[in-house]
Amino acid sequence: MDKIIICGGKKLEGEVFISGSKNAALPVLVSSLLTTGWNTFHNIPDLVDIKTIKRLLESLGAEIEGGETLRINADKLRNCEASYDLVKTMRASILVLGPLVARMGMARVSLPGGCAIGARPVNVHTKALEALGARIKLEDGYIEAKASRLKGTTIYLDLPTVTGTENIMMAACLAKGTTLLKNTAKEPEIMNLADVLCGMGAKISGAGTDTIRIDGVDSLHAVEATVIPDRIEAGTFMIAAGITGGDIKITGCDLCYLDAIVTKLRNTGMDISIVDGGIRAVGEEKVKSVDIKTLPYPGFPTDLQAQMMAFMTVGNGLSVVTETIFENRFMHVSELMRMGADISVAGNRAVVKGVPRLRGAPVMATDLRASASLILAGLAAEGVTELSRVYHIDRGYQKIEEKLSSLGADIKRV
């Protein structure tokens, strides 16, 4: 089992390139199920979750070539089942449900099951698919969905689920008639997916707002498209500059989609500005404590909550962190406390009392973003931090230790 060893205290300096967004690439790759011909997608990140979705799509009969530029052809789908052994490792596999029903008339997708950060049900996905006319059965831990042809209708999502919005938007592209999807998530990854689907011949308007209109068409053709940069990775590196008092330049992305995180980081005293070809993030010696409350986009992203909490452990006062999206996304707290952080949790609220310095310690990753939080803490801590179960981090960050060591961090994988 790999470990990451960090010797803390180095100020990060230099330039880092942000990879393509995991949470944009996953639905974009799945959207190829709706098409015939060879799709070409650029800026695909090299991540474990991308390897997983490629395996799943190949198990359905898609042909896939390449890496960062990926070519994918779904002419000959031979299977409509997403098996438990694939889905259990990545719940975003649920994204194949809508496209398979729309393209093949049926799908059998394992219920994703919970994960470390919460139960993560998919009831909103299935209810919306039923509204489009699919007959849904839950049996032996699988969702079975059948529909000779989905029919457009008006659907109100009980909550602005990100992959739920993506799932139904994709399914509705091939439905008969118009679908009005209300109370949709507004994440940039949804806008990226809508652009790709329109490139395939879909008729979609309103992505990025709380109402999306999809006028169904009979078929979709292949497209060449590019995945947006990963705003969560960009935010993680900005916080890395903040927590080490460093000065870095982030390239490959711009500030759009980052308003909530940039505003918060500026409130801590950081200087974040646009420079030629990228973003400059400069940390201050004194870190002002700020409160965080996670919200659906454009609010503060839940995927940066753990990383921001690590930063606040060395703030100059009290920071209240409120997690409103997932019911169990504070597993990094006990690990941060092993490093000397002073945090008390009550329900979905954590009160972080800043301490002058963290101390390195052996800690364990529990989920993807918690791993990033512990790496950030290790960068700032005095002494050595040993992070185990690093397979979590590889799901969502491309070569993070290489990128950090190129910024001057003393970090290695063993």
Decide if residue 45 touches ligand EPZ (CB under 6 A).
Answer: no
Q: Identify the three-state secondary structure at position 197.
A: helix
Decide if residue 122 touches ligand EPZ (CB under 6 A).
Answer: yes
Binding mask 259-288 for ligand EPZ (x = CB under 6 A): ------------------------------
When binding is defined by CB under 6 A, the residue of 113, 121, 141, 277 that contacts ligand EPZ is 121
- Say if residue 218 is exposed, middle or buried (CB neighbours under 10 Å; 0-12, 13-18, 19+): exposed
Cα-trace Rg, the chain:
21
Name which of 63, 57, 61 is nearest 25 in CA terms. 57
When binding is defined by CB under 6 A, the residue of 6, 29, 92, 375 that contacts ligand EPZ is 92
Give the alpha-carbon dihedral of 404, 407, 408, 413, to 10 degrees: 20
Separation between Cα atoms, residue 182 and residue 204, nearest integer Å: 13
**Alpha helix stretches (DSSP H) within 18-137:** 22-31, 48-59, 84-87, 97-104, 123-131
User: Shortest gap between Cβ of 306 and ligand EPZ (angstroms)?
Assistant: 9
Nearest-10 crossing angle of helices 231-244, 259-267: 10
User: Shortest gap between Cβ of 228 and ligand EPZ (angstroms)?
Assistant: 13
Separation between Cα atoms, residue 87 and residue 172, nearest integer Å: 23
Site for ligand EPZ in 177-216 (CB under 6 A): 185
When binding is defined by CB under 6 A, the residue of 3, 54, 88, 120 that contacts ligand EPZ is 120
Name which of 67, 165, 82, 120 is nearest 398 in CA terms. 67
Q: Which stretch binds ligand EPZ (CB under 6 A): 36-44, 114-122, 190-198, 204-212?
A: 114-122
Token pair belonging to 255: 């500030």
When binding is defined by CB under 6 A, the residue of 8, 45, 98, 164 that contacts ligand EPZ is 164
Q: Which stretch binds ligand EPZ (CB under 6 A): 56-64, 138-146, 159-167, 268-276?
A: 159-167
User: Shortest gap between Cβ of 255 and ligand EPZ (angstroms)?
Assistant: 19
226, β-bridge pairs:
42
Number of residues that bind ligand EPZ (CB under 6 A): 24
Decide if residue 244 touches ligand EPZ (CB under 6 A).
Answer: no
To the query of whether residue 7 is one of the catalytic residues in this protein, the response is no
- Choosing from 115, 173, 198, 256, the catalytic residue is 115
Decide if residue 102 touches ligand EPZ (CB under 6 A).
Answer: no
Decide if residue 145 touches ligand EPZ (CB under 6 A).
Answer: no
User: Shortest gap between Cβ of 75 and ligand EPZ (angstroms)?
Assistant: 26
Decide if residue 326 touches ligand EPZ (CB under 6 A).
Answer: yes
CA atoms within 13 A on the CB side of 374: 34
Separation between Cα atoms, residue 320 and residue 327, nearest integer Å: 16
CB nearer ligand EPZ, residue 165 or residue 289? 165
Token pair belonging to 148: 């000779």
User: Shortest gap between Cβ of 74 and ligand EPZ (angstroms)?
Assistant: 20
Q: Which stretch binds ligand EPZ (CB under 6 A): 52-60, 118-126, 148-156, 332-340?
A: 118-126
Decide if residue 159 touches ligand EPZ (CB under 6 A).
Answer: yes
- Please state the separation of Cα 311 from the chain's center in Å: 20
Residue 350 backbone dihedrals phi, psi, to 5 degrees = -120, 135
User: Shortest gap between Cβ of 412 and ligand EPZ (angstroms)?
Assistant: 24
Rounded alpha-carbon distances, angstroms, from residue 42 to 38, 224, 229:
13, 8, 11
Decide if residue 309 touches ligand EPZ (CB under 6 A).
Answer: no
Give 190's DSSP letter: H
User: Shortest gap between Cβ of 148 and ligand EPZ (angstroms)?
Assistant: 25
Separation between Cα atoms, residue 287 and residue 289, nearest integer Å: 6
Catalytic site residues? Answer: 115
What residues make contact with ligand EPZ under the rule CB under 6 A?
A: 22-23, 26, 92, 118, 120-125, 159, 161-164, 185, 302-303, 325-326, 368-369, 396
